[in-house]
Amino acid sequence: MSAPDRKTPLDPSELPKDGVAKFDAELAHVLKRFPEDKKAAAMIPALRIGQEIFGYVSTAVQKLAADRLGTSPARAEEVATFYVMLDNEPVGRHIVEVCTNVSCCLTGGERIFEHLKKKLGVENKGTSADGRVTLREVECLGACGTAPAMLVDEEQHERLSVEKAEEIVGGLK
Amino acid sequence: MSETLILTKRWGKKDSATLASYRADGGYEALAKALATSPAEIVEEVKRSNLRGRGGAGFATGLKWTFLPKDVRPRYLCVNADESEPGTFKDRYIIEHDPHMMLEGIAITCFALDIHLAYIYIRGEFRRQAEILEKAIAEASAAGILGAKLGGKAGFELQVHVHRGAGAYICGEESALMESLEGKKGYPRIKPPFPAVVGLWGKPTIINNVETIANIPWIVQNGGAAFAALGTGKSGGTRLFGVSGHVKRPGIYEKPVHYNLKRLIMEDCGGTASGRPIKAVIPGGSSSPVLRGDEIDVSLEFDAIKAAGSMSGSGGVIVMDDSVCVVRVLARIAKFYAEESCGQCTPCREGTSWMEGIVEKIEHGHAAAGDVDKLEQVANSIAGMTICALGDAAAMPVQSFVRKFKADFLAHVEARGCPVGERGWGVLQESREAVVGGIRY
């Protein structure tokens, strides 16, 4: 592990105050789903809320979530680094995730992924120079009958062609 | 004889996901019927139906329910909507087209098993489907179906919540699902104890797949015997088969549980889109052993297809015509398991990456004939050696692809490269780079 980039907030006190207030408000809503003594169960939703508000799950966000859920920062880090939909580093304004699993590849998924890589000038998990798009190769999206598929900011796009995928990604601001 | 449709009969209707539409078609009548009988009778009916888990394992649902210890409370229900097995895409459509059918199934199950808190664990990528479920729960709660008084029954509270995962195939494994729901990484637990005894937060927990639960209202309404009669032997009902890949009409087909695989592909799906012969079929999601094109005249019933050397798993059928390079397909499958291994058990953590590396080595023409044997050896050393079934799931495709298509693997060794080429899959083999464990192929 390299030394953490000091641009990365390490402590919740470094996070914007209004963001933290918003985090607490949204978390309170989520906590209603769990028995009162099982607050730690809300770790995935808490980190997801943090990611939406602060852009990614930094160390500070992990500590904030752990503090609010009455559990250890290690627990937050374990979750933040295990699940692929939780970003541990800054990402582009949009996230494009292309499935290249078997059913998608049988209908051209890899071709789409390779084309988008070239168009955006990035490798897998890379962000375009203008900060617009982060591109990822992902596993099966559960759209095999309507393959090939991709997610754009968690929205499903199915029955794609190279042209259609390029148009969708090109239209992102 | 017209085919009985249970799960798909309302798909495609206007506003089929709304409570009003569901009720207009007789929705929640099964719940009312259930509430008027005793919980024990419902469990008996489900046992009689021969309903078997639709998530992949095919375990008898009614039997699973009876594993709950008699006097431990609270009990929980988790509905597994983590649908992530490559080739599987059925549960999302139940949620999209008929979420109330599933909610009614949850309501009846909870009443039958004295459960007052249920979670629907849905994979993180299904954001839209999670929203549909939340909307349906809100509708049912506002109508007094869910909440303080289940179906209007005083003294029976039921809360149902949606819990979104965040991208991890392993969380479809039931014990990893519970770990994840408890707010941890998805490490499967050692079994026994099974979840029905020690589950979520250490309490007895029933985990059923979306499709399994969605069948419950029909069983209560029409009787377990009628459900059993739709199937054969120890497998009752219809099930959803999702066909994808090189077929003319991919999609979801609701068929009797013992439907013939060849008929499904050749008649219902119209055969291959190219008209070319079928090279290979994966009959039940990527972890099920592959079948050669000449082996597909089999029943998809759990036990029948097991006897034929494969499994109908999650009902995800992937069809490949003879333009495909089976080594390349296996390389992609191997990559999937290497990516998704949670890392807890050494044979799986290390072995999945080894297998991926060796398959890529073969595909790129750097392998010797001994590497093909090595590949099998590694697979054999993973199978049965891990805490959860992911190890087996990773080993089975490798073992079966090598066994059934050995000539193709050896042809790669002989030709020092892929003799098939691109053929519509993606980029040309020559320009495709694979990096596995720091080694570039």
- CA B296/CA B263 separation, integer angstroms: 9
Of A35, A105, A139, the CB nearest to B425: A105
Task: Tell me what the pLDDT averaged over chain B comes to.
Answer: 95
Task: Confirm whether A88 is domain-assigned.
Answer: no
Which pLDDT belongs to residue B232? 94
Domain boundary among A82, A110, A139: A82
Residues A163 and A110 placed together within one structural domain of the fold = yes
| Secondary structure, 3-state, chain A | CCCCCCCCCCCHHHCCHHHHHHHHHHHHHHHCCCCHHHHHHHHHHHHHHHHHHHCCCCHHHHHHHHHHHCCCHHHHHHHHHHCCCCCCCCCCCEEEEEECCHHHHCCCHHHHHHHHHHHHCCCCCCECCCCCEEEEEECCCCCHHHCCCEEECCEEECCCCHHHHHHHHHCCC
Cβ contacts of B11-17, under 8 Å, gap ≥ 24: B11/B93, B11/B97, B11/B98, B12/B97, B16/B97, B16/B98, B17/B96, B17/B97, B17/B98, B17/B99, B17/B100, B17/B132, B17/B135, B17/B136
Residues A56 and A100 placed together within one structural domain of the fold = no
Task: List the CATH code of the domain at B238-321.
Answer: 3.10.20.600
Please give the structure tokens belonging to residue B201: 């937060």
Question: Contact B84/A109, CB-based, under 8 Å?
Answer: no
Residues A29 and A54 placed together within one structural domain of the fold = yes
User: According to CATH, where is 1.20.1440.230 located in chain B?
Assistant: 326-434
- CA A155/CA A141 separation, integer angstroms: 11
User: According to CATH, where is 3.40.50.11540 located in chain B?
Assistant: 19-230
Q: Is B250 left (phi over 0), alpha (psi -120 to 50) or beta?
A: beta
Can you give the pLDDT of all 173 residues of chain A as single tens digits?
Answer: 455 556 789 999 999 999 999 999 999 999 999 999 999 999 999 999 999 999 999 999 999 999 999 999 999 999 999 999 999 999 999 999 999 999 999 999 999 999 999 999 999 999 999 999 999 999 999 999 999 999 999 999 999 999 999 999 999 99
Q: What's the CATH class of domain B326-434? A: mainly alpha
pLDDT per residue as tens digits for the range B24-83: 999 999 999 999 999 999 999 999 999 999 999 999 999 999 999 999 999 999 999 999
Q: What's the CATH class of domain B19-230? A: alpha beta
- CA A145/CA A148 separation, integer angstroms: 9
As for how many domains chain A has, the answer is 2
Residues A74 and A101 placed together within one structural domain of the fold = no
Question: Which chain A residues are Cβ-neighbours of B435 within 8 angstroms?
Answer: none
Task: Confirm whether A89 is domain-assigned.
Answer: no
Which pLDDT belongs to residue B433? 65
Question: Contact B183/A69, CB-based, under 8 Å?
Answer: yes
Interface of A with B in 47-76 (CB under 8 A): 47-48, 69, 71, 75
Which pLDDT belongs to residue B439? 72
pLDDT per residue as tens digits for the range B318-364: 999 999 999 999 999 999 999 999 999 999 999 999 999 999 999 99
For residue B197, with 0-12 CB atoms within 10 Å meaning exposed, 13-18 middle and 19 or more buried, which class applies? middle
Residues A63 and A27 placed together within one structural domain of the fold = yes
Task: Confirm whether A59 is domain-assigned.
Answer: yes
Task: Confirm whether A7 is domain-assigned.
Answer: no
Beta-bridge mates of residue B278? B321
Question: Which chain A residues are Cβ-neighbours of B317 within 8 angstroms?
Answer: none
- Expressed as residue numbers, the domain containing A36 is 12-82
Question: Contact B166/A83, CB-based, under 8 Å?
Answer: yes
Over 80: is that where the pLDDT of B435 sits? no
Residues A21 and A74 placed together within one structural domain of the fold = yes
| CATH code for position A35 | 1.10.10
CA distance B290 to chain A (A): 13
Q: Is residue B302 within 8 Å of B311, Cβ to Cβ?
A: yes
